[in-house]
Each structure stands twice: as C-alpha cells, then as structure tokens.
Structure 1
Amino acid sequence: MSDFQFPVMLEPQPEGGFVVTFPDIPEAITQGEDEEEALLVAVDALETALSIYVEGRKPLPIPSAPKRGQKTISPSALECAKLGLYRAMLEQGVRKAELARRLGWHLPQVDRLFDLNHASRLDQIEAAARALGRHVEVRVA
C-alpha cells in the first residue's frame, strides 16, 4: 500500500453524480457524473491539492485509516515518488538549494523534481533520494 493512499468520500447528489472529498485533505474536492468518473477525477484533485502543500513547503497530510468498505485514492506512481522525496527532504530539514548542491545541479532542476505536473525521470528522483540517504522502491501490486 502507498504511503499516499488517502480515503475518499463519495457523496451522491440529488441532481445526479457524486461530489468527491478527502477527509484528510480539505483542499481536494471534485465531482463526477458517476462513481467511476468521480474516482478517476479524484486522482487529479488529490494531486492538485498535494501540490499546494509542496509549493507552500508545508508538511504533507498523513492518510487516515479507511473505514470498512471505504475506497482510497493515491497519486500516480511518479507523483508518489516525488512526494516521498519531498517528505524526506522536510524530515531532514534540507532545503532545495542544499539538495541542488549535493547533486551538483542547478536549482531549477531541483524545482522540477517537486513539480507534480512535470514528468521527471525516475533516475533523477533516485539520485535525489540517494543524496538524502534514501532509495526509491518500485513494485507492482
């Protein structure tokens, strides 16, 4: 299970469709015409909300345990890797400039690592993780 697997609430609407919210992330809210669409667009809402935390250098929310039968949503695998890297950086009190120095990169390269909309390469994320004394694990479940 992902460190970023967040419980989601689907609320049926009288006019049809579902409103999607996340108990742990009040900034993430969206809607879909049916349950399948609502869960699909929930990923984008979650990633957008989490990017607000990253841009503001705020600690990331910790997912609560889902209630019985409650669905969960996580960001894409690449975004999970970026968020894990961001969390490690915050835990260690390392700023982006320090990470850039450790990697021998320019600051804009490090900025792109934490841009959830940028398609960073996995080898770059792995290099940054090593610079923080961590490693990236990938698995298919």
Structure 2
Amino acid sequence: MRYVYPVAIEPDEDGRHVAVATDVPEAIADGANQQEALKEMSEALGAALAGYVLEGKELPRPSKAKRGQYLVPVAPLVAAKLALRVAMREEGVSNVALASRLRVSEAAVRRLVDPDHASRLDGVVAALSVLGRGLIIEDQKQVAA
C-alpha cells in the first residue's frame, strides 16, 4: 500500500493553516503557513495510523486527491513499520515467529514495529523481506492537485 493521503488545508480565524486528512479524520495539523501545516500533517498521519494498528483496525486506503488537496506522505520509517505490521497480520506471523525468522529477540521485533521507536530502516526492510515483502521509495513534489 502507498502511505500517501490527500489533505485539505483551510485558513482558520487566527490566520493559521489547518490541515485535515480526508481518509484519516483523526489526523489534524496546523501551521503558520501551508508548508508548515503539511510537514506537521505527515507526523499527525503517522500517529493516527499507528493508533489504528494498535487498536486492531484496518488502515484506510488513500483516496485520490481532489482539486486543491495535497498528497502528504507518512514519514518513511513510520510507513515501513506500518507496512510491517500489516504484513505480519496478513501472514499470521507473531512477534515471536518473526523474531525466530530474523534470529533476533522478540523485544527487537517489538521495537521494529513500534512507530515511536527510532529503529534503523534497514532492520524494518529486512523484516519485510522475510515476509516476502519489499519497500518502494519515491519522491514527489508537494503541490495541490
């Protein structure tokens, strides 16, 4: 899945810019300008989606951006960790089973799937690999649709 979500930005009564994710209503951010609001939204999306995973909810699929919306990516490491959690759930692989496949401790796997832990991206990529998954990275210019 591509962890890039459409976001609308509106000015509020104080002159700040409020960003709201169409598909993830729990993700709301603001900033002094549009760029700051978009940067904050990337973190808000990661936190909201991590909440979905921790609650056992399905992650919402990103919709197409409508005119005037921005596509905002989840931070790369958080997106990789979300992908790992989803892959583990889809494959029916527990932390213990993944730890065995990776030849690491179960605690190491807990850190790999913890969106708040500053894991190394290559460790998450290795875990995805043993589950038959890969990670694709791309860049994009942030302009409104």
Task: Give me the TM-score of the superposition, normalised by structure 2.
Answer: 0.84
The whole-number CA distance in structure 1 between the counterparts of 2:9 and 2:134 is: 35
- Read off the aligned partner of 2:21 and give its amino acid letter: F
Identity of aligned residues (%): 42
In the other structure, the counterpart of 2:129 is 130
In the other structure, the counterpart of 1:12 is 11
- Read off the aligned partner of 1:38 and give its amino acid letter: A
Gapped runs of 5+ residues in structure 1? none
Q: Is 1:66 matched up with 2:88?
A: no
In the other structure, the counterpart of 2:89 is 90
Contact 2:8 2:68 in 1 (8 A): no
Equivalent pairs, count? 140
The whole-number CA distance in structure 1 between the counterparts of 2:4 and 2:34 is: 18
Report deviation, 1:140.
Answer: 5.0
Cα RMSD, aligned residues only: 1.9
Report deviation, 1:14.
Answer: 2.0
Q: Is 1:3 matched up with 2:2?
A: yes
Report deviation, 1:58.
Answer: 2.5
Q: How is 1:41-80 mapped onto 2 (pairs within 5 angstroms)?
A: 41-80=40-79
SS in 1 for 2:18: strand
Post-superposition Cα deviations, 1:99-138, rounded to whole Å, max 9, x if no partner, equal 1222222221111111222221233112211221223344
The whole-number CA distance in structure 1 between the counterparts of 2:78 and 2:68 is: 25
Contact 1:54 1:60 in 2 (8 A): yes
In the other structure, the counterpart of 1:39 is 38
Q: How is 1:15-26 mapped onto 2 (pairs within 5 angstroms)?
A: 15-26=14-25
Contact 2:5 2:23 in 1 (8 A): yes
- Read off the aligned partner of 1:44 and give its amino acid letter: E
The whole-number CA distance in structure 2 between the counterparts of 1:24 and 1:138 is: 22
Gapped runs of 5+ residues in structure 2? 141-145
The whole-number CA distance in structure 2 between the counterparts of 1:110 and 1:25 is: 27
Query: Is the deviation greater in 95-104 or in 22-31?
Result: 95-104
In the other structure, the counterpart of 2:107 is 108
